Structure 1
Amino acid sequence: MAGFLSVLRRIYLSVYNWAVFFGWFRVLYLALNTLRESNYGKVYGAVERPLQLAQTAAVLEILHGLVGLVRSPVSATLPQIGSRLYVTWGILWSFPEVRGHFLVASLVISWSITEIIRYSFFGVKEALGFAPSWLLWLRYSTFLVLYPTGISSEVGIIYTAIPYIKASEKYCIRMPNKWNFSFDYFYAAIVALGIYVPGSPHMYQYMLGQRKKALSKIKAA
Protein backbone atom coordinates (compact mmCIF):
# COMPACT_ATOMS: atom_id res chain seq x y z
CA MET A 1 0.00 0.00 0.00
CA ALA A 2 2.81 2.39 0.90
CA GLY A 3 4.46 1.72 -2.46
CA PHE A 4 1.23 2.48 -4.32
CA LEU A 5 0.78 5.75 -2.42
CA SER A 6 4.37 6.72 -3.19
CA VAL A 7 3.81 6.16 -6.92
CA LEU A 8 0.53 8.07 -6.76
CA ARG A 9 2.30 10.97 -5.01
CA ARG A 10 5.01 11.11 -7.68
CA ILE A 11 2.47 11.03 -10.51
CA TYR A 12 0.42 13.81 -8.92
CA LEU A 13 3.43 16.04 -8.24
CA SER A 14 4.82 15.40 -11.73
CA VAL A 15 1.54 16.43 -13.34
CA TYR A 16 1.23 19.45 -11.05
CA ASN A 17 4.77 20.70 -11.68
CA TRP A 18 4.62 20.26 -15.45
CA ALA A 19 1.19 21.86 -15.69
CA VAL A 20 2.37 24.96 -13.83
CA PHE A 21 5.62 24.92 -15.83
CA PHE A 22 3.64 25.25 -19.08
CA GLY A 23 1.57 27.99 -17.50
CA TRP A 24 4.65 30.04 -16.71
CA PHE A 25 6.18 29.24 -20.09
CA ARG A 26 3.11 30.75 -21.71
CA VAL A 27 3.42 33.83 -19.50
CA LEU A 28 7.03 34.33 -20.55
CA TYR A 29 6.26 33.75 -24.23
CA LEU A 30 3.41 36.26 -24.22
CA ALA A 31 5.46 38.84 -22.32
CA LEU A 32 8.46 38.62 -24.64
CA ASN A 33 6.29 38.55 -27.74
CA THR A 34 4.45 41.66 -26.56
CA LEU A 35 7.72 43.48 -25.87
CA ARG A 36 8.93 42.54 -29.34
CA GLU A 37 5.77 43.62 -31.14
CA SER A 38 4.64 46.50 -28.94
CA ASN A 39 5.92 47.94 -25.64
CA TYR A 40 6.07 47.27 -21.90
CA GLY A 41 2.77 49.05 -21.33
CA LYS A 42 0.93 46.22 -23.09
CA VAL A 43 2.56 43.34 -21.22
CA TYR A 44 0.03 42.99 -18.42
CA GLY A 45 -2.91 42.87 -20.80
CA ALA A 46 -1.24 40.05 -22.71
CA VAL A 47 -0.38 37.91 -19.68
CA GLU A 48 -3.13 38.69 -17.19
CA ARG A 49 -5.14 35.46 -17.23
CA PRO A 50 -2.25 32.94 -17.52
CA LEU A 51 -0.32 34.93 -14.89
CA GLN A 52 -3.24 34.78 -12.48
CA LEU A 53 -3.76 31.06 -13.07
CA ALA A 54 -0.09 30.12 -12.77
CA GLN A 55 0.50 32.20 -9.67
CA THR A 56 -2.70 31.16 -7.91
CA ALA A 57 -1.88 27.50 -8.55
CA ALA A 58 1.04 27.96 -6.15
CA VAL A 59 -1.47 27.93 -3.26
CA LEU A 60 -1.43 24.16 -3.64
CA GLU A 61 2.23 24.17 -2.61
CA ILE A 62 1.24 25.39 0.82
CA LEU A 63 -1.18 22.47 1.08
CA HIS A 64 1.52 20.10 -0.18
CA GLY A 65 3.75 21.19 2.68
CA LEU A 66 0.98 21.00 5.28
CA VAL A 67 -0.02 17.43 4.41
CA GLY A 68 3.58 16.25 3.96
CA LEU A 69 3.62 15.68 0.20
CA VAL A 70 6.83 17.73 -0.01
CA ARG A 71 9.57 18.50 2.47
CA SER A 72 9.68 22.25 1.84
CA PRO A 73 8.91 24.10 5.08
CA VAL A 74 5.64 26.02 5.00
CA SER A 75 7.37 28.83 6.91
CA ALA A 76 9.53 29.49 3.84
CA THR A 77 6.85 28.81 1.22
CA LEU A 78 4.02 30.86 2.71
CA PRO A 79 5.67 34.34 2.72
CA GLN A 80 6.89 34.06 -0.86
CA ILE A 81 3.59 32.79 -2.25
CA GLY A 82 1.62 35.22 -0.09
CA SER A 83 3.55 38.24 -1.32
CA ARG A 84 3.17 37.20 -4.96
CA LEU A 85 -0.55 36.63 -4.59
CA TYR A 86 -0.85 40.03 -2.95
CA VAL A 87 0.89 41.71 -5.89
CA THR A 88 -1.03 39.64 -8.46
CA TRP A 89 -4.52 40.14 -7.03
CA GLY A 90 -4.26 42.85 -4.40
CA ILE A 91 -2.34 45.30 -6.60
CA LEU A 92 -2.28 44.48 -10.32
CA TRP A 93 -5.81 43.10 -10.58
CA SER A 94 -7.28 45.62 -8.14
CA PHE A 95 -5.65 48.80 -9.44
CA PRO A 96 -5.51 49.00 -13.24
CA GLU A 97 -3.64 52.32 -13.04
CA VAL A 98 -0.32 50.56 -12.37
CA ARG A 99 -0.56 47.90 -15.09
CA GLY A 100 1.26 49.95 -17.72
CA HIS A 101 4.33 50.60 -15.55
CA PHE A 102 7.64 49.28 -16.90
CA LEU A 103 8.19 47.38 -13.63
CA VAL A 104 5.32 45.07 -14.54
CA ALA A 105 7.35 43.75 -17.47
CA SER A 106 10.44 43.17 -15.30
CA LEU A 107 8.25 41.52 -12.65
CA VAL A 108 6.61 39.13 -15.12
CA ILE A 109 9.90 38.19 -16.76
CA SER A 110 11.69 37.67 -13.41
CA TRP A 111 8.85 35.56 -12.01
CA SER A 112 8.34 33.48 -15.15
CA ILE A 113 12.01 32.60 -15.73
CA THR A 114 12.38 31.68 -12.06
CA GLU A 115 9.31 29.47 -12.10
CA ILE A 116 10.05 27.82 -15.44
CA ILE A 117 13.37 26.64 -14.01
CA ARG A 118 11.91 25.70 -10.61
CA TYR A 119 8.94 23.72 -11.88
CA SER A 120 10.96 21.94 -14.57
CA PHE A 121 13.49 20.98 -11.88
CA PHE A 122 10.82 19.48 -9.62
CA GLY A 123 8.96 17.98 -12.59
CA VAL A 124 12.05 16.12 -13.79
CA LYS A 125 12.96 15.10 -10.25
CA GLU A 126 9.51 13.64 -9.56
CA ALA A 127 9.26 11.92 -12.94
CA LEU A 128 12.78 10.43 -13.03
CA GLY A 129 13.78 10.39 -9.39
CA PHE A 130 16.68 12.75 -10.02
CA ALA A 131 17.53 16.00 -11.77
CA PRO A 132 20.61 16.59 -13.96
CA SER A 133 23.38 18.65 -12.40
CA TRP A 134 23.00 21.52 -14.88
CA LEU A 135 19.33 21.90 -13.96
CA LEU A 136 20.22 21.74 -10.28
CA TRP A 137 22.75 24.51 -10.84
CA LEU A 138 20.19 26.66 -12.67
CA ARG A 139 17.61 26.05 -9.93
CA TYR A 140 19.93 27.28 -7.21
CA SER A 141 21.89 29.97 -9.07
CA THR A 142 19.59 32.05 -11.26
CA PHE A 143 17.84 33.46 -8.18
CA LEU A 144 21.04 35.41 -7.46
CA VAL A 145 19.89 37.85 -10.15
CA LEU A 146 16.19 37.09 -10.57
CA TYR A 147 15.25 37.36 -6.89
CA PRO A 148 16.55 40.96 -6.55
CA THR A 149 14.92 42.01 -9.85
CA GLY A 150 11.65 40.34 -8.88
CA ILE A 151 11.55 41.75 -5.36
CA SER A 152 12.53 45.24 -6.57
CA SER A 153 9.72 45.09 -9.11
CA GLU A 154 7.22 43.96 -6.47
CA VAL A 155 8.18 46.79 -4.11
CA GLY A 156 8.17 49.34 -6.93
CA ILE A 157 4.72 48.30 -8.13
CA ILE A 158 3.23 48.42 -4.63
CA TYR A 159 4.81 51.84 -4.07
CA THR A 160 3.42 53.07 -7.39
CA ALA A 161 -0.05 51.85 -6.40
CA ILE A 162 -0.06 53.65 -3.02
CA PRO A 163 -1.66 56.93 -4.27
CA TYR A 164 -4.37 55.01 -6.14
CA ILE A 165 -5.05 52.82 -3.12
CA LYS A 166 -5.46 55.89 -0.93
CA ALA A 167 -7.69 57.74 -3.41
CA SER A 168 -9.98 54.81 -4.18
CA GLU A 169 -10.53 53.58 -0.60
CA LYS A 170 -11.07 50.16 -2.14
CA TYR A 171 -11.32 47.28 0.34
CA CYS A 172 -11.62 49.71 3.26
CA ILE A 173 -14.06 49.08 6.09
CA ARG A 174 -15.22 52.21 7.88
CA MET A 175 -16.82 52.69 11.27
CA PRO A 176 -19.53 52.50 12.38
CA ASN A 177 -20.57 49.02 11.30
CA LYS A 178 -22.12 45.95 12.90
CA TRP A 179 -18.71 44.34 13.43
CA ASN A 180 -17.35 47.40 15.24
CA PHE A 181 -14.22 47.05 13.14
CA SER A 182 -12.31 49.23 10.70
CA PHE A 183 -9.71 48.44 8.08
CA ASP A 184 -7.74 50.70 5.78
CA TYR A 185 -6.17 49.06 2.75
CA PHE A 186 -3.83 52.03 2.34
CA TYR A 187 -2.14 51.35 5.68
CA ALA A 188 -2.12 47.62 4.96
CA ALA A 189 -0.13 48.38 1.79
CA ILE A 190 2.30 50.49 3.84
CA VAL A 191 2.73 47.59 6.27
CA ALA A 192 3.29 45.21 3.34
CA LEU A 193 6.06 47.46 2.04
CA GLY A 194 7.58 47.54 5.52
CA ILE A 195 7.62 43.75 5.70
CA TYR A 196 9.72 43.60 2.54
CA VAL A 197 12.54 45.47 4.33
CA PRO A 198 13.50 42.69 6.80
CA GLY A 199 11.79 39.89 4.85
CA SER A 200 13.68 40.16 1.56
CA PRO A 201 17.23 39.90 3.00
CA HIS A 202 16.07 37.05 5.25
CA MET A 203 14.67 35.08 2.29
CA TYR A 204 17.77 35.81 0.23
CA GLN A 205 20.01 34.50 3.00
CA TYR A 206 17.80 31.42 3.31
CA MET A 207 18.11 30.72 -0.42
CA LEU A 208 21.88 31.24 -0.28
CA GLY A 209 22.00 28.57 2.41
CA GLN A 210 19.89 26.23 0.26
CA ARG A 211 22.18 26.93 -2.69
CA LYS A 212 25.26 26.03 -0.69
CA LYS A 213 23.73 22.69 0.34
CA ALA A 214 22.52 21.88 -3.17
CA LEU A 215 25.74 22.72 -4.97
CA SER A 216 27.82 20.79 -2.45
CA LYS A 217 26.05 17.68 -3.73
CA ILE A 218 27.29 18.39 -7.25
CA LYS A 219 30.87 18.76 -6.00
CA ALA A 220 30.55 15.58 -3.93
CA ALA A 221 29.32 13.68 -6.98
Structure 2
Amino acid sequence: MLFTSDLSAIKSSTLLLSLVSPKNLFFLALVHGGVFLLRPSRVPHSLQLDRLCRMASQILYFAVKTLKESGHENVYEAVEKPLQLAQTAAVLEILHGLVGLVRSPVSATLPQIGSRLFLTWGILYSFPEVQSHFLVASLVISWSITEIIRYSFFGLKEALGFAPSWHLWLRYSSFLVLYPTGITSEVGLIYLALPHIKTSEMYSVRMPNTLNFSFDFFYATLLVLAIYVPGSPHMYRYMLGQRRRALSKSKRE
Protein backbone atom coordinates (compact mmCIF):
# COMPACT_ATOMS: atom_id res chain seq x y z
CA MET A 1 0.00 0.00 0.00
CA LEU A 2 1.26 3.48 -0.81
CA PHE A 3 0.98 6.02 1.99
CA THR A 4 0.70 9.79 1.61
CA SER A 5 4.45 10.26 1.99
CA ASP A 6 5.04 7.69 -0.75
CA LEU A 7 2.62 9.47 -3.09
CA SER A 8 4.38 12.78 -2.43
CA ALA A 9 7.69 11.14 -3.22
CA ILE A 10 6.22 9.72 -6.42
CA LYS A 11 4.98 13.13 -7.55
CA SER A 12 8.37 14.72 -6.82
CA SER A 13 10.21 11.93 -8.62
CA THR A 14 7.88 12.21 -11.59
CA LEU A 15 8.59 15.93 -11.93
CA LEU A 16 12.33 15.25 -11.78
CA LEU A 17 12.13 12.42 -14.31
CA SER A 18 10.16 14.57 -16.74
CA LEU A 19 13.17 16.88 -16.94
CA VAL A 20 15.69 14.12 -17.60
CA SER A 21 16.73 13.14 -21.12
CA PRO A 22 17.75 9.52 -21.88
CA LYS A 23 21.40 10.45 -22.41
CA ASN A 24 21.64 11.78 -18.84
CA LEU A 25 19.63 8.98 -17.23
CA PHE A 26 22.52 6.56 -16.72
CA PHE A 27 24.50 9.15 -14.75
CA LEU A 28 21.45 10.13 -12.69
CA ALA A 29 20.71 6.50 -11.88
CA LEU A 30 24.23 5.89 -10.61
CA VAL A 31 24.08 9.00 -8.44
CA HIS A 32 20.57 8.19 -7.19
CA GLY A 33 21.38 4.57 -6.45
CA GLY A 34 24.98 4.96 -5.38
CA VAL A 35 24.92 7.50 -2.57
CA PHE A 36 25.75 4.86 0.00
CA LEU A 37 28.65 3.52 -2.01
CA LEU A 38 30.15 7.01 -2.36
CA ARG A 39 29.56 8.14 1.23
CA PRO A 40 29.13 5.04 3.39
CA SER A 41 29.87 6.84 6.65
CA ARG A 42 27.07 9.35 6.17
CA VAL A 43 24.24 7.39 4.58
CA PRO A 44 22.94 4.21 6.30
CA HIS A 45 22.43 1.20 4.09
CA SER A 46 18.82 0.93 5.26
CA LEU A 47 18.09 4.32 3.66
CA GLN A 48 19.55 3.07 0.40
CA LEU A 49 17.26 0.05 0.50
CA ASP A 50 14.31 2.27 1.37
CA ARG A 51 15.03 4.44 -1.68
CA LEU A 52 15.16 1.42 -3.99
CA CYS A 53 11.93 0.07 -2.50
CA ARG A 54 10.19 3.41 -3.11
CA MET A 55 11.38 3.43 -6.71
CA ALA A 56 9.93 -0.06 -7.25
CA SER A 57 6.69 1.01 -5.55
CA GLN A 58 6.46 4.01 -7.85
CA ILE A 59 6.79 1.82 -10.94
CA LEU A 60 4.21 -0.68 -9.67
CA TYR A 61 1.77 2.11 -8.81
CA PHE A 62 2.02 3.69 -12.28
CA ALA A 63 1.79 0.30 -14.02
CA VAL A 64 -1.31 -0.89 -12.16
CA LYS A 65 -3.00 2.52 -12.38
CA THR A 66 -2.41 2.74 -16.13
CA LEU A 67 -3.41 -0.88 -16.69
CA LYS A 68 -6.70 -0.23 -14.92
CA GLU A 69 -7.47 3.13 -16.52
CA SER A 70 -6.25 2.86 -20.11
CA GLY A 71 -5.03 -0.68 -20.77
CA HIS A 72 -1.72 -2.48 -21.25
CA GLU A 73 -0.91 -0.52 -24.41
CA ASN A 74 0.02 2.55 -22.32
CA VAL A 75 1.88 0.91 -19.45
CA TYR A 76 5.35 1.40 -20.90
CA GLU A 77 4.82 5.11 -21.52
CA ALA A 78 3.69 5.52 -17.91
CA VAL A 79 6.71 3.75 -16.36
CA GLU A 80 9.47 4.36 -18.91
CA LYS A 81 11.68 6.85 -17.08
CA PRO A 82 11.33 5.50 -13.52
CA LEU A 83 11.89 1.99 -14.91
CA GLN A 84 15.08 3.08 -16.67
CA LEU A 85 16.27 4.90 -13.56
CA ALA A 86 15.57 1.99 -11.22
CA GLN A 87 17.10 -0.70 -13.42
CA THR A 88 20.21 1.35 -14.18
CA ALA A 89 20.67 2.15 -10.49
CA ALA A 90 20.65 -1.60 -9.84
CA VAL A 91 24.18 -1.70 -11.34
CA LEU A 92 25.29 -0.53 -7.91
CA GLU A 93 24.17 -3.88 -6.48
CA ILE A 94 27.03 -5.49 -8.39
CA LEU A 95 29.50 -3.00 -6.95
CA HIS A 96 28.03 -3.49 -3.47
CA GLY A 97 28.65 -7.22 -3.82
CA LEU A 98 32.20 -6.71 -5.03
CA VAL A 99 33.14 -4.50 -2.06
CA GLY A 100 31.28 -6.64 0.48
CA LEU A 101 28.42 -4.31 1.38
CA VAL A 102 25.87 -7.05 0.70
CA ARG A 103 26.04 -10.82 1.04
CA SER A 104 24.48 -11.66 -2.32
CA PRO A 105 27.11 -13.31 -4.57
CA VAL A 106 28.00 -11.38 -7.71
CA SER A 107 27.63 -14.59 -9.73
CA ALA A 108 23.90 -14.58 -8.94
CA THR A 109 23.37 -10.82 -9.12
CA LEU A 110 25.17 -10.17 -12.40
CA PRO A 111 22.97 -12.33 -14.72
CA GLN A 112 19.78 -10.92 -13.22
CA ILE A 113 20.81 -7.28 -13.50
CA GLY A 114 22.42 -7.84 -16.90
CA SER A 115 19.22 -9.33 -18.34
CA ARG A 116 17.12 -6.51 -16.91
CA LEU A 117 19.40 -3.85 -18.35
CA PHE A 118 19.29 -5.61 -21.71
CA LEU A 119 15.48 -5.67 -21.65
CA THR A 120 15.19 -2.08 -20.38
CA TRP A 121 17.58 -0.43 -22.82
CA GLY A 122 18.34 -2.96 -25.57
CA ILE A 123 14.74 -4.02 -26.19
CA LEU A 124 12.05 -1.77 -24.69
CA TYR A 125 13.79 1.59 -25.17
CA SER A 126 15.31 0.71 -28.53
CA PHE A 127 12.31 -0.87 -30.25
CA PRO A 128 9.03 1.02 -29.72
CA GLU A 129 7.23 -1.67 -31.73
CA VAL A 130 7.08 -3.94 -28.65
CA GLN A 131 6.26 -1.26 -26.08
CA SER A 132 2.49 -1.68 -26.34
CA HIS A 133 2.47 -5.47 -25.92
CA PHE A 134 0.71 -6.92 -22.86
CA LEU A 135 3.95 -8.69 -21.87
CA VAL A 136 5.35 -5.28 -20.87
CA ALA A 137 2.74 -5.02 -18.12
CA SER A 138 3.45 -8.53 -16.81
CA LEU A 139 7.19 -7.84 -16.95
CA VAL A 140 7.03 -4.56 -15.06
CA ILE A 141 4.62 -5.88 -12.43
CA SER A 142 6.69 -9.04 -11.85
CA TRP A 143 9.92 -7.06 -11.51
CA SER A 144 8.38 -4.44 -9.23
CA ILE A 145 6.71 -6.82 -6.79
CA THR A 146 9.91 -8.84 -6.56
CA GLU A 147 11.97 -5.75 -5.78
CA ILE A 148 9.49 -4.35 -3.25
CA ILE A 149 9.53 -7.61 -1.30
CA ARG A 150 13.31 -8.00 -1.50
CA TYR A 151 14.30 -4.43 -0.67
CA SER A 152 11.75 -4.08 2.14
CA PHE A 153 12.92 -7.39 3.65
CA PHE A 154 16.60 -6.45 3.66
CA GLY A 155 15.73 -2.89 4.73
CA LEU A 156 13.97 -4.23 7.83
CA LYS A 157 16.90 -6.50 8.62
CA GLU A 158 19.31 -3.59 8.27
CA ALA A 159 17.20 -1.25 10.42
CA LEU A 160 15.88 -3.66 13.07
CA GLY A 161 18.17 -6.65 12.85
CA PHE A 162 15.30 -9.02 11.99
CA ALA A 163 12.24 -9.40 9.77
CA PRO A 164 8.85 -10.95 10.59
CA SER A 165 8.45 -14.64 9.77
CA TRP A 166 5.74 -13.90 7.19
CA HIS A 167 8.09 -11.47 5.45
CA LEU A 168 10.83 -14.07 5.43
CA TRP A 169 8.46 -16.60 3.87
CA LEU A 170 7.32 -14.06 1.28
CA ARG A 171 10.92 -13.11 0.43
CA TYR A 172 11.88 -16.70 -0.29
CA SER A 173 8.59 -17.95 -1.76
CA SER A 174 7.21 -15.22 -4.03
CA PHE A 175 9.71 -16.15 -6.76
CA LEU A 176 7.83 -19.44 -7.23
CA VAL A 177 5.27 -17.41 -9.20
CA LEU A 178 7.07 -14.16 -10.04
CA TYR A 179 10.19 -15.72 -11.55
CA PRO A 180 8.28 -17.73 -14.20
CA THR A 181 6.07 -14.75 -15.09
CA GLY A 182 9.09 -12.45 -15.29
CA ILE A 183 11.21 -14.84 -17.36
CA THR A 184 8.32 -15.62 -19.71
CA SER A 185 7.78 -11.90 -20.26
CA GLU A 186 11.50 -11.29 -20.87
CA VAL A 187 11.86 -14.10 -23.39
CA GLY A 188 8.59 -13.16 -25.10
CA LEU A 189 9.57 -9.51 -25.55
CA ILE A 190 13.03 -10.40 -26.88
CA TYR A 191 11.43 -12.81 -29.35
CA LEU A 192 8.91 -10.17 -30.48
CA ALA A 193 11.72 -7.68 -31.05
CA LEU A 194 13.78 -10.01 -33.26
CA PRO A 195 12.19 -9.04 -36.61
CA HIS A 196 12.63 -5.34 -35.81
CA ILE A 197 16.23 -5.89 -34.72
CA LYS A 198 16.98 -7.68 -37.99
CA THR A 199 15.37 -5.14 -40.32
CA SER A 200 16.62 -2.02 -38.52
CA GLU A 201 20.21 -3.30 -38.02
CA MET A 202 20.33 -1.09 -34.93
CA TYR A 203 23.57 -1.35 -32.94
CA SER A 204 25.14 -3.51 -35.66
CA VAL A 205 28.54 -2.60 -37.06
CA ARG A 206 29.36 -3.55 -40.64
CA MET A 207 32.71 -3.84 -42.35
CA PRO A 208 34.67 -2.22 -43.79
CA ASN A 209 35.37 0.34 -41.07
CA THR A 210 38.39 1.95 -39.47
CA LEU A 211 38.37 -0.52 -36.56
CA ASN A 212 38.23 -3.55 -38.88
CA PHE A 213 35.48 -4.90 -36.63
CA SER A 214 31.95 -6.19 -37.19
CA PHE A 215 29.08 -6.84 -34.81
CA ASP A 216 25.55 -8.09 -35.46
CA PHE A 217 23.08 -7.18 -32.74
CA PHE A 218 20.54 -9.64 -34.16
CA TYR A 219 22.82 -12.64 -33.62
CA ALA A 220 23.92 -11.27 -30.25
CA THR A 221 20.25 -11.19 -29.23
CA LEU A 222 19.80 -14.77 -30.43
CA LEU A 223 22.74 -15.69 -28.19
CA VAL A 224 21.05 -13.98 -25.25
CA LEU A 225 17.89 -16.00 -25.93
CA ALA A 226 19.97 -19.18 -26.06
CA ILE A 227 21.51 -18.38 -22.67
CA TYR A 228 18.02 -18.27 -21.15
CA VAL A 229 17.58 -21.99 -21.93
CA PRO A 230 20.16 -23.31 -19.41
CA GLY A 231 20.30 -20.11 -17.36
CA SER A 232 16.67 -19.91 -16.25
CA PRO A 233 16.43 -23.45 -14.77
CA HIS A 234 19.82 -22.95 -13.10
CA MET A 235 18.69 -19.71 -11.42
CA TYR A 236 15.40 -21.30 -10.38
CA ARG A 237 17.21 -24.23 -8.75
CA TYR A 238 19.59 -21.76 -7.05
CA MET A 239 16.63 -19.84 -5.58
CA LEU A 240 14.95 -23.07 -4.48
CA GLY A 241 18.14 -23.93 -2.59
CA GLN A 242 18.18 -20.47 -1.03
CA ARG A 243 14.55 -20.90 0.03
CA ARG A 244 15.20 -24.30 1.58
CA ARG A 245 18.19 -23.03 3.59
CA ALA A 246 16.48 -19.80 4.71
CA LEU A 247 13.25 -21.45 5.85
CA SER A 248 15.09 -24.32 7.55
CA LYS A 249 17.25 -21.86 9.47
CA SER A 250 14.14 -19.91 10.47
CA LYS A 251 12.51 -23.04 11.91
CA ARG A 252 15.64 -23.90 13.93
CA GLU A 253 15.69 -20.40 15.41
Same fold (TM over 0.5): yes
* Match runs of 1:121-160 below 5 Å: 121-160=153-192
Cα 1:84–1:9 change in 2 (3 A) is: farther
* Match runs of 1:1-221 below 5 Å: 11-221=43-253
Counterpart AA for 1:202:
H
Task: Give, in whole Å, the separation in 2 of the partners of 1:173 and 1:61.
Answer: 31
8 Å CA contact 1:174, 1:182 repeated in 2: yes
Task: Give, in whole Å, the separation in 1 of the partners of 2:151 and 2:141.
Answer: 15
TM-score by length of 2: 0.83
How many equivalent pairs are there?
214
Task: Give, in whole Å, the separation in 2 of the partners of 1:74 and 1:134.
Answer: 27
Mind listing any 5+ residue stretches in structure 2 that lack a counterpart?
1-39
Task: Give, in whole Å, the separation in 2 of the partners of 1:132 and 1:146.
Answer: 21
Task: Give, in whole Å, the separation in 2 of the partners of 1:94 and 1:144.
Answer: 30
Cα 1:9–1:202 change in 2 (3 A) is: farther
Task: Give, in whole Å, the separation in 2 of the partners of 1:123 and 1:101.
Answer: 33
Partner of 2:44, secondary structure, is: helix
8 Å CA contact 1:10, 1:126 repeated in 2: no
Identity of aligned residues (%): 72
8 Å CA contact 1:121, 1:136 repeated in 2: yes
The Cα offsets for residues 159-196 of structure 1, whole Å up to 9 and x where unpaired, read as 00000000111001100111111000000110000000
Counterpart AA for 2:68:
R
Higher relative contact order (CA 8 A, sep 6+): 1
TM-score by length of 1: 0.94
Partner of 1:183, secondary structure, is: coil
8 Å CA contact 1:9, 1:69 repeated in 2: no
Counterpart AA for 2:130:
V
Task: Give, in whole Å, the separation in 2 of the partners of 1:121 and 1:51.
Answer: 21
The Cα offsets for residues 106-156 of structure 1, whole Å up to 9 and x where unpaired, read as 001100001000010111111111111111111000000000000000000
Task: Give, in whole Å, the separation in 2 of the partners of 1:111 and 1:9.
Answer: 30
The Cα offsets for residues 49-71 of structure 1, whole Å up to 9 and x where unpaired, read as 11111111110000001111112
Counterpart AA for 1:196:
Y
8 Å CA contact 1:10, 1:127 repeated in 2: no
Structure 1 segments of 4+ aligned residues over 2 angstroms from their partners = 8-12
Deviation at 1:218, TM superposition (A): 2.1
Counterpart AA for 2:135:
L
Deviation at 1:220, TM superposition (A): 1.2
